[in-house]
Amino acid sequence: MTGSVPAIRTICCIGAGYVGGPTMAVIADRCPGVQVTVVDLNAERIAAWNDADLSRLPVYEPGLDAVVGRCRGRNLFFSTEVEAGIAAADMVFLSVNTPTKTKGLGAGQASDLRWVEASARSVAAHAQGHTIVVEKSTLPVRTAATVQAILQAAQGEAECKTFSVLSNPEFLAEGTAVPDLEQPDRVLIGGDDPQAIEALASVYAHWVPEDRILRTNLWSSELSKLTANAFLAQRISSINSIAAFCESTGADVREVARAIGTDSRIGPKFLQAGPGFGGSCFQKDILNLVYLCGHYGLHEVAAYWQSVVDLNAWQQHRIARLVVNNLFGTVTGKRLAVLGFAFKADTNDTRDAPAIRICRDLLEEGADLAIYDPKVAPEQIARDLGMAPSASSSGLTGEGRWQLAGSVHDAVCSADAVLILTEWQAFRQLSWPELAPQMRQPAWVFDARAVVDPEQVRAAGLRLWRVGDGNIG
């Protein structure tokens, strides 16, 4: 396409998920002159986006209800009519799921692109006139080539159809999606059609300062998303490796983090030691990077990034192991209170949560887990642990079991140990003098998020392990 920058009046987003929903809501809010339709094959999800009760939107994000409330029905629409949405659009965002493949070539590492391909084929079939297609899902480098090939085939069949493909990755984090979208550090647009790039830039220019809109080629943009997540995850593995070293040497990882974080070249963020990273992106994106590096014969590079994921898993196994070791080498039949199951605070998301691996290890050792999380549903925990809850104790049979606790007090009652695995605010304010007498002595607190006050825990007569703290034991 040559000539002037096309004006964008109608946008269609395929995929009303975690990324598509909030992103389109903010675009509609900031661009009242653009009609935005989010389409999805999942009728239940669309119905939830259209629910009159804004507290029942399918994605919980602080501030999202207000944004959706302002523009839904005005210039923001949620619909199952995928074909009509595509046909009416000047610009189509692909925001479908791209999970790690579970079988076949690249299983466990590569992204499963079946939904991207299917949505690209829908665009090819139903688009009219010139359509700018924007990859929003996190995709392996060079996926745009697949999308382009599918669209070009349609272009060849129908003279009146033309397409430009852009990559525009999303960097929002869960829990801060709305502020991340409203005040992004940067917006990245990759492509090889300058007019299409400027058309998308003009959408963001409604609220994003020009110097924060970066333009690159397609492949740089796709790779930047994987690289950003790989670098963030690498910092967490780095600080967790140092946390283990601190525990062996009498250093405190928080002091080390503060000391290195004041170096402006390093910076203070993402230096919080803990039970390892979870969430839907970090592990998935690094494994994808590892797979792609292997594909291109860069085996040393693949091994380097693989070590970030391996260190993360090691940290989780290490925590489970040290719980067992400190409880006289056995947790069989012992009640352990697990506080927090979500992958981070302020979300009910458990995808790749550190709690999953740690709990599974302890169940394997025959533990009796009482799990409390303020937001995660018991069905989700059962799915994640691959085991239904059980009310009756398995005693010393060696069979691990878990049950849901309705409160911190319920979980802790008669427990030999408390494990804190998510940094919920409420866990920072626990009253240890009240909790300690309810536990079976000698009792332990294993604080994988460093949220407790060590003095208070010890004054209550409890033994304490705190991640990265070599001064206690």
Question: Hey, how many other C-beta atoms are within 10 angstroms of the C-beta on 2?
Answer: 6
Stretch that binds ligand ADP, among 114-122, 252-260, 315-323, 338-346 (CB under 6 A): 114-122
CB 240, min distance to ligand UDX, A: 7
Stretch that binds ligand UDX, among 23-31, 71-79, 266-274, 379-387 (CB under 6 A): 266-274
Q: What angle do CA 189, 347, 385 make, to 5 degrees?
A: 110
Q: Which of 284, 318, 334, 344 binds ligand UDX (CB under 6 A)?
A: 344
Q: Which of 59, 281, 323, 415 binds ligand UDX (CB under 6 A)?
A: 281
Binding mask 303-342 for ligand UDX (x = CB under 6 A): ----------------------------------------
Judged by CB under 6 A, does residue 266 bind ligand UDX? no
* Sign of the dihedral defined by the CA atoms of residues 134, 137, 140, 143, in that order: negative
Separation of alpha carbons 50 and 52, rounded Å: 6
CB 430, min distance to ligand UDX, A: 19
Q: Which of 5, 232, 251, 298 binds ligand UDX (CB under 6 A)?
A: 232
* Sign of the dihedral defined by the CA atoms of residues 303, 304, 305, 308, in that order: positive
Judged by CB under 6 A, does residue 16 bind ligand ADP? yes
Stretch that binds ligand ADP, among 36-44, 48-56, 147-155, 365-373 (CB under 6 A): 36-44
CB 464 within 8 A of CB 445: yes
Residue in 142, 91, 146 with CA at minimum distance from that of residue 118 = 146
Judged by CB under 6 A, does residue 468 bind ligand ADP? no
Q: Which does 343 bind (CB under 5 to 8 A by kind): ligand UDX, ligand ADP, none?
A: ligand UDX
The catalytic site residues sit at 281
Residue in 12, 32, 162, 144 with CA at minimum distance from that of residue 88 = 12
Place of tokens 């829908």: 122
CB 97, min distance to ligand ADP, A: 3
Residue number with CB closer to ligand ADP (122 or 422):
122
Residue in 141, 163, 143, 167 with CA at minimum distance from that of residue 153 = 163
Judged by CB under 6 A, does residue 42 bind ligand ADP? yes
Separation of alpha carbons 95 and 134, rounded Å: 9
Stretch that binds ligand UDX, among 95-103, 199-207, 267-275, 302-310 (CB under 6 A): 267-275
Judged by CB under 6 A, does residue 277 bind ligand UDX? yes
Q: Which of 6, 12, 15, 67 binds ligand ADP (CB under 6 A)?
A: 15
CB 268 within 8 A of CB 282: no
List all residues 6 or more positions away from 341 whose beta carbon is below 8 Å from its beta carbon. Answer: 350, 353, 355, 359, 371, 373, 376, 381, 384, 421, 422
Within 133-172, the residues that bind ligand ADP by CB under 6 A are 137
Residue number with CB closer to ligand ADP (17 or 106):
17
Q: Which does 173 bind (CB under 5 to 8 A by kind): ligand UDX, ligand ADP, none?
A: ligand UDX
Q: Which of 274, 333, 366, 468 binds ligand UDX (CB under 6 A)?
A: 274
* Position closest to ligand UDX via CB: 279
- DSSP track, 182-234: HS-S-EEEEES-HHHHHHHHHHHTTTS-GGGEEEE-HHHHHHHHHHHHHHHHH
Judged by CB under 6 A, does residue 22 bind ligand ADP? no
Tokens of 50: 């259209």
Stretch that binds ligand ADP, among 34-42, 145-153, 171-179, 230-238 (CB under 6 A): 34-42
Using DSSP's 3-state secondary structure scheme, residue 447 falls into: strand
Stretch that binds ligand UDX, among 159-167, 169-177, 404-412, 432-440 (CB under 6 A): 169-177
CB 292 within 8 A of CB 230: no
Judged by CB under 6 A, does residue 82 bind ligand ADP? yes
Q: What is the CA radius of gyration of the chain?
A: 25
Separation of alpha carbons 175 and 96, rounded Å: 20
Q: Which does 107 bind (CB under 5 to 8 A by kind): ligand UDX, ligand ADP, none?
A: none
Using DSSP's 3-state secondary structure scheme, residue 372 falls into: strand
Strand order in the sheet with 187-191: 76-79, 35-39, 10-14, 91-94, 130-135, 162-167, 187-191, 213-216
Q: Which of 86, 120, 236, 302 binds ligand UDX (CB under 6 A)?
A: 236
Q: Which of 11, 12, 13, 20 binds ligand ADP (CB under 6 A)?
A: 20
Place of tokens 């780095």: 238
Question: Hey, how many other C-beta atoms are within 10 angstroms of the C-beta on 3?
Answer: 6
Name the residues that contact ligand ADP, by CB under 6 A.
14-20, 39-42, 45, 82, 95-97, 115, 118-119, 122, 137
Name the residues that contact ligand UDX, by CB under 6 A.
170-174, 229, 232, 236, 270-272, 274, 277-279, 281-282, 343-344
